[in-house]
Structure 1
Amino acid sequence: MLRFDPFGDVAGRQAPTSQMGSGRVPRFMPMDLYKVDDHYVLTADLPGVDPGSVDVTVDNGTMTLTAHRSARSDEAVQWLSNERFSGTYRRQLSLGEGVDCSRISATYENGVLTVSIPLAERAKPRRVNVAHAGTATTIDSTTVDPG
């Protein structure tokens, strides 16, 4: 697994403005990635995002995580502090060939997105049977000693 996010969603970002309460877009989606037995587990912190906006797609070996946190729409608010970002979060990861993309699953609970990424059968460690030499083999009525 490789991480890919050179500039995030550059086209979708707005430049921050000096006014409180406007122009604040998400900058980062912190995540952990680890391997357990025959699959990888990715967890990403997405507190306060709209649960229906969480999306995980896989296309041509790239997994894209997307989520959206809505801004407060009450115009009558006088901001004293506005440090929480609103807008769309996006993160992309390149998946290796040893991943079974058809069996990827995801859950979103308590502000954490958890994605299970199973290894493909061909990528799982396996034991290879080793044939032992040392017994005589007969080829065309001739005895051959492999030793």
Structure 2
Amino acid sequence: MATTSFDPFRDLDRWLTGGMVRTPASVGMPLDLYREGESFVARIDLPGVDPATIDVDVEDRTLTVRAERPATDAKDVQWLAHERPTGTFARQLTLGHGLALDRISAQYTDGVLTLTIPVAEEAKPRKIEVTHAPAHHPVIEADKA
């Protein structure tokens, strides 16, 4: 009988390696991802974003973050440098199995959106107690004839 390894966080590793390509979304929404205890934490930089424009949703196993950074309203501007992206940004992350999608929380503080993604209870490692049962050996008695 072969054993297989179950890793509920395998997709999160793929998330890190495949999701870190520098795209317009990642330039506008750079993120850090780490595990802290029994949760994964994603911190996304969103300076200058109105918190009312931030939208976070999960459908199936895809987490989508959308936010908008408005362009400057100044008229007759002659740009000397224009490096801060503006407009609507979206970033999608594929979440692995073994995460509590119904308990994801989001907090926006000082221009940083922090998503906390807890590990599901059924995916947490647990000890299985091994009990000792006495051996049941049949007793053979001689026939006294």
TM-score past 0.5 threshold: yes
What does residue 61 of structure 2 align with? Answer: 61
Which blocks of at least 5 consecutive residues in structure 2 are unaligned?
Answer: 1-11, 140-145
Q: Give the conservation status (yes or no) of the 8 Å contact 2:40–2:117.
A: yes
Tell me the CA shift for residue 73 of structure 1.
2.0
What does residue 47 of structure 2 align with? Answer: 47
Q: 2 CA distance for matches of 1:39 and 1:107? A: 15
What does residue 77 of structure 1 align with? Answer: 77
Q: Give the conservation status (yes or no) of the 8 Å contact 2:50–2:69.
A: yes
Q: 2 CA distance for matches of 1:26 and 1:77? A: 26
Q: 2 CA distance for matches of 1:42 and 1:105? A: 11
The 5-angstrom pairing of residues 68-147 of structure 1 reads 68-132=68-132, 135-137=134-136, 142=138
**Other structure's SS at 1:102 match:** helix
Q: Which runs of 4+ in 1 moved over 3 A?
A: 4-9
Q: Percent identity?
A: 45
Q: 2 CA distance for matches of 1:6 and 1:35? A: 17
Q: Under a length normalisation based on structure 2, what TM-score does the superposition of the two structures give?
A: 0.74
Q: CA RMSD in A?
A: 2.4
Tell me the CA shift for residue 27 of structure 1.
5.5
CA-to-aligned-CA distance 1:67-87 (integer Å, 9 cap, x gap) = 110001232333333221101
Structure number with higher helix proportion:
2
Q: Give the conservation status (yes or no) of the 8 Å contact 2:58–2:101.
A: yes
CA-to-aligned-CA distance 1:58-105 (integer Å, 9 cap, x gap) = 001000111110001232333333221101121111111101110000
Tell me the CA shift for residue 49 of structure 1.
1.2
Which blocks of at least 5 consecutive residues in structure 1 are unaligned?
Answer: 10-24
Structure number with higher strand proportion:
1
What code does the residue aligned with 2:136 have?
A: T
Q: Under a length normalisation based on structure 1, what TM-score does the superposition of the two structures give?
A: 0.73
